[in-house]
Structure 1
Amino acid sequence: MNRKRIFKAGFLLLVFSLVSVFFVSLVQDSTKEQIKYNEEQLLIKRLGELVQGYDNNILQDKILKEVSLHGIKQTLSIYPAKKNNHTFAYLIEHTYPNGYSGNIRLLTGIGSDKKLLGVRVITHKETPGLGDKIETKKSNWIKQFKGLSLSGTNKKQWRVKRDGGIFDAFTGATVTPRAIVNATYQVLELFNTKDFKDATQ
């Protein structure tokens, strides 16, 4: 009798587990496309904040480039902005791994004149109320990069003011601003290499 009860309980548990796995898989499959769509819409929004006036399909023209950047191997997504088939800017999606709470996914826009169009955060896990001030909806801090270039500054200036540089930090949070400043400088360095030029031609 006990064996029958144990067998019945085990069978019901197995059925319950299979049904649960089925519904979890169903939910994941049904939301996967929505998540992908939402991420694409956020990217389009960030692209639009940094560059206007292009007439190409900037997402379709994406270039993938494997590089060593920010101390890690990663694949960059490079979006060329074109007008009349002439590229006048590049928007580079990259990951900086040394934020206060881990990876910070960034979009950095650079014009053909090698000046920054700006920097925007795509995703991050920085501390709410402190590090999340890198988001434009929380503060204008990240907008200070627009118009800067390597030719108009030296490497020592690419630090927060606390470290002797020209960039403001947040009260109570220095690691996150340092991360964005470092990431931006390193992308500008990469942009000025022959390797980047060859990848985008």
Structure 2
Amino acid sequence: MNKKIVHDALILTVFTVVIGFILGLVYEITKDPIAKAEEATAQAAYKAVFEDADSFSTYDFDAEAAASLLEQNGYSDEINGVQEALDKDGNVLGYVITVTAKDGSQGNITFSVGIKNDGTVNGYSVTSMSETPGLGDKAKTEDFSKQYKNKNVDSFTVVKQAPSADNEIEAISGATITSKAMTNGVNACITYFQNELEGGAE
């Protein structure tokens, strides 16, 4: 009986080592292509919300300070990264702030928001979403996202009827939770911009 236990344990150990080696090999093979694909997706999102920019430069932001700022202002969202949008001469035109909204109806929603130096929102571009097809995922469409474009407000609010002011966003029919998640995410970016970036990053 003891010999059988030892034999089975050895087989299990060898099997585990082999599987671990294979998984490690697969990771090494795929990590670069995955990283390149993620970077390409991010760059496309940056360009979508800042068409005038010639290039983008990573802004070294403090993630903990950003989290604290958002929490103090009542947001559960997370700032994932900040890019400076540059013209051909290297002048900063504004910023692209990538945020994860954690209050979507089906999970987290990650998207990038473009904000000009004067606080005008260029719009947003979604990079990750699992909202319900035909309902919440309409947040990715131009019909919904255009409501935020070229608006300079302190914050947006979601309404269920046709907007009567620049800061009002008409909710997607049947997807109010998603609409509020997107709006909270944009508002979180505006709050971060106003407190950390407006007037030029130091």
Question: Normalising by structure 2, what TM-score?
Answer: 0.80
In structure 1, the residue matched to 2:6 is 7
Following TM superposition, by how much is the alpha carbon of 1:29 offset from its aligned partner in structure 2, in angstroms?
A: 2.5
| Change in 2 beyond 3 A, CA 1:164/1:115 | closer
Letter in 2 for 1:80: E
SS in 2 for 1:170: coil
Distance 1:117 1:47 in 2: 11
In structure 1, the residue matched to 2:81 is 77
Instruction: Tell me, yes or no, if the aligned pair for 2:106 and 2:131 is still in contact at 8 Å.
Output: yes
SS in 2 for 1:113: coil
| Change in 2 beyond 3 A, CA 1:144/1:5 | same
Aligned length: 191
Instruction: Tell me, yes or no, if the aligned pair for 2:135 and 2:175 is still in contact at 8 Å.
Output: yes
Distance 2:173 2:77 in 1: 32
Following TM superposition, by how much is the alpha carbon of 1:38 offset from its aligned partner in structure 2, in angstroms?
A: 0.9
In structure 2, the residue matched to 1:196 is 197
Instruction: Tell me, yes or no, if the aligned pair for 2:121 and 2:151 is still in contact at 8 Å.
Output: yes
In structure 2, the residue matched to 1:17 is 16
% same residue: 27
Instruction: Tell me, yes or no, if the aligned pair for 1:89 and 1:111 is still in contact at 8 Å.
Output: yes
Instruction: Tell me, yes or no, if the aligned pair for 1:65 and 1:75 is still in contact at 8 Å.
Output: no
2:189 to 187, 190, 198: 187
| Change in 2 beyond 3 A, CA 1:45/1:73 | closer
Instruction: Tell me, yes or no, if the aligned pair for 1:65 and 1:199 is still in contact at 8 Å.
Output: no
| Change in 2 beyond 3 A, CA 1:61/1:190 | closer
Q: Does 1:150 align with 2:153?
A: yes
Distance 2:162 2:146 in 1: 20
Following TM superposition, by how much is the alpha carbon of 1:85 offset from its aligned partner in structure 2, in angstroms?
A: 2.8
Following TM superposition, by how much is the alpha carbon of 1:168 offset from its aligned partner in structure 2, in angstroms?
A: 2.3
| Change in 2 beyond 3 A, CA 1:76/1:199 | farther
SS in 2 for 1:52: coil
Distance 2:200 2:3 in 1: 68
1:141 to 136, 141, 144: 144
SS in 2 for 1:102: coil
In structure 2, the residue matched to 1:32 is 31
SS in 2 for 1:64: coil
Q: Does 1:99 align with 2:104?
A: yes
Question: Normalising by structure 1, what TM-score?
Answer: 0.80
| Change in 2 beyond 3 A, CA 1:181/1:12 | same
Structure 1: which 4+ aligned runs deviate by more than 6 Å?
none
In structure 1, the residue matched to 2:172 is 170
Letter in 1 for 2:144: W
Instruction: Tell me, yes or no, if the aligned pair for 2:94 and 2:115 is still in contact at 8 Å.
Output: yes
SS in 1 for 2:170: coil
Following TM superposition, by how much is the alpha carbon of 1:176 offset from its aligned partner in structure 2, in angstroms?
A: 0.2
Following TM superposition, by how much is the alpha carbon of 1:3 offset from its aligned partner in structure 2, in angstroms?
A: 4.0
CA-atom RMSD in angstroms: 2.7
Structure 1: tracts of 5 or more residues without a match: none
RCO comparison, higher one (Cα < 8 Å, 6+) = 2
Structure 2: tracts of 5 or more residues without a match: none
